[in-house]
């Protein structure tokens, strides 16, 4: 659905996106994660031809992003935390305004979404809360059955109830839609994402199916019969080693499975127990971000 190759974006001397290559498969829910300022929004704006790239190519539904026409936008939904809306209109007036632009607009779906998301028809947009604006933007983006839905930090600044309502509205209509969602609110996207890309300072650190990512990361905790070894000949795949008393802990970034436990017992004497627990997406992101920060602080450069 989206193919990005060797994408760069410069703003003067600042590099916002650097040599980014990734593929968003059709039918996926592709999460672009990273801290604020990582280059996620810039990438999305280039995909939508809001910004022009410095170099590299972006294709959206087989079309060069610089040549996207109203025909392609008939199939692309978009919502952003900073989306500008005509504040003098009411909710009802804004839906009336949008419908003629989309040949596949579904009035029945629109009504269902407006009811589900509790949108106040007669209220002016300028009087809506941030959360209500985001719910309205989602209803607008889904009502014409887009093939591609792009969401830029949709959960930022929302209270938990509004986040749940927004996610329920999205999940209820996702169907065959390809979703590209950028976020640093990782708890919210974990339940929907099928693919994860981690961007840091405009550079792609990894891009893989979420199931593969989840299967290779483990929080390992080893308990010894004696004080844990103070010096460990660790693999590069072990990060954030920590010892305290009889306990050795680390994150394994490429967990090989149950055979790993036997290899640990062969490596260390006096092991009492070994636990290797799956990690939620937020913990994986935090571990990688800490590793990147520690490398920079140690003078190791970028990973």
Q: Print pLDDT tens along the chain (303 aa).
A: 999 999 999 999 999 999 999 999 999 999 999 888 889 999 999 999 999 999 999 999 999 999 999 999 999 999 998 888 999 999 999 999 999 999 999 999 999 999 989 999 999 999 999 899 989 999 999 999 999 999 998 887 778 788 788 777 777 766 779 999 998 777 778 878 899 999 988 999 889 999 999 999 999 999 999 999 988 888 889 999 999 999 999 999 999 988 899 999 999 999 999 999 999 988 998 888 788 777 766 665 544
131 and 248 belong to one structural domain:
no
Q: Domain for residue 298, yes or no? A: no
Give the pTM. 0.86
90 and 22 belong to one structural domain:
yes
**4 touches 21 (CB < 8 A):** yes
Domain boundary among 178, 208, 238: 208
227 and 93 belong to one structural domain:
no
63 and 124 belong to one structural domain:
yes
Q: What is the domain count for the chain?
A: 2
Q: Domain for residue 14, yes or no? A: yes
125 and 234 belong to one structural domain:
no
130 and 35 belong to one structural domain:
yes
126-141 residues labelled b (16+ CB within 10 A) or e (exposed): eebeebbbbbbbbbbb
Contacts of 194 (CB under 8 A, 6+ apart): 28, 29, 30, 209, 210
99 and 203 belong to one structural domain:
yes
Domain of 69?
2-208
185 and 234 belong to one structural domain:
no
Q: Domain for residue 130, yes or no? A: yes
Q: Domain for residue 133, yes or no? A: yes
197 and 231 belong to one structural domain:
no
* Strand-pair category, 195-200 with 178-183: unpaired
79 and 144 belong to one structural domain:
yes
């Amino acid at each position: 659905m989206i193919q990005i190759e060797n994408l760069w974006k410069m703003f003067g001397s600042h590099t916002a996106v650097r040599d980014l290559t990734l593929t968003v498969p059709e039918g996926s829910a592709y999460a672009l994660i990273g801290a604020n300022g990582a280059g996620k929004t810039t990438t999305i704006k280039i995909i939508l031809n809001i910004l022009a790239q410095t170099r590299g190519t972006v294709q959206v539904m087989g079309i060069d992003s610089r040549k996207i026409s109203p025909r392609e936008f008939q199939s692309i939904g978009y919502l952003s935390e900073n989306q500008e809306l005509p504040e003098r209109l009411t909710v009802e007036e804004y839906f009336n305004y949008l419908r003629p632009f989309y040949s596949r607009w579904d009035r029945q779906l629109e009504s269902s979404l407006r009811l589900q998301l509790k949108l106040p028809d007669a209220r002016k947009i300028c009087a809506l809360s941030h959360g209500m604006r985001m719910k309205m933007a989602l209803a607008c983006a889904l009502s014409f059955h887009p093939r591609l839905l792009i969401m830029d930090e949709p959960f930022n600044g929302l209270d938990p109830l509004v986040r749940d309502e927004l996610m329920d509205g999205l999940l209820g209509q996702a169907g065959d839609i390809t979703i590209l969602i950028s976020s640093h609110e990782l708890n919210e996207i974990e339940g929907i994402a099928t693919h994860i890309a981690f961007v840091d300072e405009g550079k792609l650190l990894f891009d893989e199916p979420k199931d593969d990512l989840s299967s290779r990361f483990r929080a390992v905790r080893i308990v010894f019969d004696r004080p844990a070894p103070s010096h460990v000949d660790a693999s590069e795949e072990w990060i954030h080693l920590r010892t305290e008393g009889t306990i050795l802990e680390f994150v394994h970034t490429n967990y090989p499975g149950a055979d790993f436990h036997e290899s640990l017992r062969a490596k260390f004497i006096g092991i009492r127990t070994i636990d290797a627990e799956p990690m939620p997406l937020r913990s994986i992101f935090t571990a990688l971000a800490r590793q990147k920060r520690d490398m920079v602080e140690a003078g190791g450069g970028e990973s």
